[in-house]
Amino acid sequence: MVEIVTHLALLLLFPPLLLGIIVKTKALFAGRVGAPLLQPYSDLWKLLKKGAVYSRTTTWIFRAGPIIALASVLTAGVVLPLASTSSPFGFAGDVILFAYLLALGRFVTMAAALDTGSPFEGMGASREAAFSALVEPALFLVLGIICLPAASVSFSNAWAALPWQHWGVAHPCLLAASAALFIVLLTENSRIPVDDPNTHLELTMIHEVMVLDHSGPDFAFILYGASIKLFLFGSLLIHLLLPISAGISWQNAALFLGGQVGMAILVGIVESRRTMNLYSDFLLLFVVMLNLYIVSANRLTACVKASALQGAALALLPIIMWWNGSPTPLVHVILMAVGTLAFKAIVIPIMLARAIRNVDARREVEPFVSLHLSLLLAALLVGVSFWLAGALELSAGAPSRLLVPASFSTLLIGFLVLVSRKKAITQVIGYLMIENGVFVFSQSVAAKLPFVVELGVLLDLLVAIFVMNIVIHQINREFDHINVDKLDLLKG
């Protein structure tokens, strides 16, 4: 019973929020405050209270279109597992039903559009048909990949047979499926870059042009149906990417809702790319993504590799800042980039990799905070950093709006790694992340920082890591391990 109520509540209440999040993200990237997060709910309520206008040339098909479309996505949502590996209404073969229900919804929308007899809407319907013909095979292929391990066309069997551990062995396949699914999601939901739901130039519209003639409650059904569709594709993606286990638990719910919100933010970011300072912002986002990766990885070599990659990204940062018109002299920029690349992307990672080999430590075993939980915490910290950067009004003078939030989140996540892990080497990586965060921040005042000081800072970092390395080596020789939680001789 609880399961059914949760499932339906999630399906019916949550989706419009996603549209709100996307709009909010885009507004933030464009430097506006943006509409409130709950605006879509108010819009739906407003539309439902209005009456509808019907053209005399239309038939019952036009009226039935929105209702059947909404009914079909809702039914599809009922059989799709949401915050658990199984849906309370699932049955053998529900994967097929899911795919065909989506197709049915699309078909009735197109039929309703053609029913108006307007050439304009007919053009939209034809475009929609062309795109769905391209997307549908991709969707079926992804569904096929999902169903392959279980050899069953039922979602509950499929998800149960595809635990998160599969990422360890089948990651190219799963990675490709996820990427394909994300593109399908953008296409099916008429998002940028395939379509632009907010455009006012009819010639460039695909989906919007089909629904121009709908008004009042009919249009509310269409909007609501669109948000549910986004929600359904998001759920598929989340089940692929995040470790959602069987049964209803707060962890599952948190992962699921967090995943949906993250997906909406991602869509918002993709749509904002034109307003973004392309290279520097993508680079900074990459740095933040690497933070999240380091938090969630438990193989020490993977952490070191990610940190080396982060160092390389940081080395590019001064160059891109210079390209974007920062007043720092070019010689200074190049020396800084070369120094950062040499130290943070090559020398330090090599030292750490050698340390890992020498002390024979491969994995972070049983960290103080589980990897899943620390991933959630890290995502939370990213949010906190955006809030903090906004509250401090530091971003105003910075060369990129993302600079300060990215710096704070790297700093805070570094702290998280530092306090939640037991291996000395992981702690060093945490320290390195804190330093990286400070480095990112230093780019906002780089023009004012004399080169000697920056060089001093880099050298200090190198020596610090070197010294830590030696101490780790000695600890390993003396104790035969490098688990810092067992360094507890000194008390009081």
Partner 1 sequence: MNVGREDILLWALLLCPTVGGGLCLLLRSPRQVLWMLYVSVLAFGGIAGYLGWRVFSKGTIFAADGWFTLDPLSAYHLTVMTIVFVLSTIFAGSYFRDSVQDGSLSTKRMRRFGALWLGSLAAMILVLISNHLGMMWVGIESTTLMTTFLICFHRSRESLEATWKYLLICSVGIAISFMGTLLAGASSGHIPGLKDPMLWSALRPIAASLDPLTMKASFIFLIVGFGTKAGLAPMHTWLPDAHSQAPAPVSAIFSGIMLNTALYCVMRYIPIVEGATGNAGWALGIVRLFGIVSMLIAAAFIIFQHDVKRLLAYHSVEHLGIIAVGVGLGGLGTFAAMFHTLNHSVCKSLGFFCAGRLGQMYETHDMHRMRGTLHVSPIWGIGLLLSLMALIGVAPFAVFMSELQIVKAALDVNAIVILVLFLASTGIVFVGALGHATSMAWGKAPEGVPQSKTKMIDIALVVAPLALLLLLGLWMPEWLRGILSQAADVISTTR
d(CA 364, CA 94): 40
Binding of residue 395 to partner 1 (CB under 8 A): no
Binding of residue 397 to partner 1 (CB under 8 A): yes
Nearer to partner 1, 96 or 394 (CB): 394
Tokens of 353: 């990799």
Residue with tokens 């309370």: 88
**How many CB atoms neighbour CB 225 within 10 A?**
22
**In 3D, which of 59, 55, 18, 9 has the Cα closest to residue 39?**
18
Which DSSP helix (H) or strand (E) runs through 48? helix 39-49
Measured at the CA of 93, the angle between CA 87 and CA 96, to 5 degrees, comes to 100
Binding of residue 418 to partner 1 (CB under 8 A): yes
By CB under 8 A, name the one of 52, 212, 438, 481 that touches partner 1. 438
Task: Tell me the one-letter amino acid at 43.
Answer: D
Nearer to partner 1, 245 or 483 (CB): 483
Nearer to partner 1, 96 or 457 (CB): 457
Residue with tokens 């460039």: 204
Nearer to partner 1, 312 or 388 (CB): 388
Number of residues that bind partner 1 (CB under 8 A): 44
Tokens of 70: 């909404």
One character per residue 398-417, x = contact with partner 1 (rule: CB under 8 A): -------------x---x--
Alpha-carbon separation of residue 410 from 414, 425, 441 (angstroms): 6, 18, 10
Query: What's the min distance (Å) between Cβ of 487 and partner 1?
Result: 4
DSSP code, position 58: -
d(CA 184, CA 178): 10
Report the chain's C-alpha Rg in angstroms: 26
Q: In this chain, which stretch among 23-31, 199-207, 220-228, 427-435 interacts with partner 1, using CB under 8 A? A: 427-435
Query: What's the min distance (Å) between Cβ of 285 and partner 1?
Result: 21
Nearer to partner 1, 295 or 434 (CB): 434
Burial of 212 (0-12, 13-18, 19+ CB in 10 A): middle
Collapsed DSSP state (helix, strand, coil) of residue 423: strand
Query: What's the min distance (Å) between Cβ of 53 and partner 1?
Result: 53
Query: What's the min distance (Å) between Cβ of 490 and partner 1?
Result: 4
d(CA 454, CA 461): 11
Residues 449-488 that bind partner 1 (CB under 8 A): 449-450, 452-453, 456-457, 460, 463-464, 467-468, 470-472, 474-475, 478-479, 484, 487-488
Nearer to partner 1, 38 or 392 (CB): 392
Query: What's the min distance (Å) between Cβ of 447 and partner 1?
Result: 10
Query: What's the min distance (Å) between Cβ of 84 and partner 1?
Result: 40
d(CA 373, CA 376): 5
Alpha-carbon separation of residue 333 from 337, 442, 453 (angstroms): 6, 13, 14
Task: Tell me the one-letter amino acid at 26.
Answer: K
Nearer to partner 1, 87 or 426 (CB): 426
Residues 337-356 that bind partner 1 (CB under 8 A): none
Instruction: Kindly list the residues in this chain that would bind partner 1 in the complex (CB under 8 A).
Output: 392-394, 397, 411, 415, 418, 424, 427-428, 431, 434-435, 437-438, 441-442, 444-445, 448-450, 452-453, 456-457, 460, 463-464, 467-468, 470-472, 474-475, 478-479, 484, 487-490, 492
